[in-house]
Amino acid sequence: MLTILREQLLNHLIQLSEVINSYQNYDTNYADRALKWLLDTEKTLQKNRNPASSCLAVSRAKILAANDGLRDKNISSNGFTKRQIMRATVSLALDESEQKLSIIINDIDMKIDIWTDKMSQFLAVATTNTPIPLPPTEPRSNWLNKVWEGFNISAELHGMYAYLNSAMSKTDRQYVLGNVIDNLLSNSKKHQSQKKYHKLKE
């Protein structure tokens, strides 16, 4: 369920701005806020069985160690107070974690782009024999299931259909299928509008 993980990580990145604001405003609780953010994000990664959770755990450990008087090897202690070292440790930990999340999201986006391209190719052929029924108001997920299961799969499409079924979870497939269908409907409406416009000009 990469699409759900993506949304969850984006939410964590949005929440990170509040932690950074706390750091910037010299809030005395900024380290606790950073630790909570790291722990919450780590739990999200753990639930999705993403190994990057260990990287965030290490970042938490660095902050906890700095609070005990230890310091990261990348941070010099010369001429700096314990509080300044602590602030630097928190800043470094958050920066490393933000970069890690950005890499994960970028990797997910690349996979979604590949799936979207494959789904577009599949629908371009599949819908010639099996028109897509108009979507109901709710629930959209049931409608997407009906659309996917309703395709009359020919021998030509069997391989692609099997690939799309195995490459994605059901949730990811619904997400990609829904986006591709929305784009198809949107392009169809634009095409119809353009045809009407040209007829009026004639």
Whether 140 and 189 map to the same domain: the answer is: yes
Last residue of a domain, one of 91, 107, 123: 107
Q: Which domain holds residue 71?
A: 2-107
What is the distance between the alpha carbons of residues 60 and 77, in angstroms, rounded to a whole number?
Answer: 19
Q: Which of 107, 126, 149 is the last residue of a domain?
A: 107
Shared domain check, 140 and 90: no
* Number of domains the chain contains: 2
Q: Alpha-carbon torsion 165, 168, 171, 177, what sign?
A: negative
Q: Based on the domain organization, do 162 and 68 belong to the same domain?
A: no
In this structure, the chain runs to a length of: 202
38 and 6 together in one domain: yes
On whether both 75 and 141 belong to a single domain, the answer is no
Blockwise average pLDDT, block size 10, the chain, 202 residues: 94 93 87 95 96 94 86 67 85 93 96 95 86 75 88 83 92 93 70 45 49
Cα–Cα distance measured from residue 184 to residue 91, given in angstroms and rounded to the nearest whole number: 45
Provide the 3-class DSSP secondary structure of residue 136.
coil
User: How does pLDDT run across 156-180, given as a tens digit for each residue?
Assistant: 888 999 999 999 999 999 999 999 9
31 by Cβ neighbours in 10 Å (0-12 / 13-18 / 19+) ranks as buried
* Alpha-carbon distance values, 192 to 117, 187, 202 (Å): 24, 9, 16
Q: End of a domain among 107, 137, 169?
A: 107
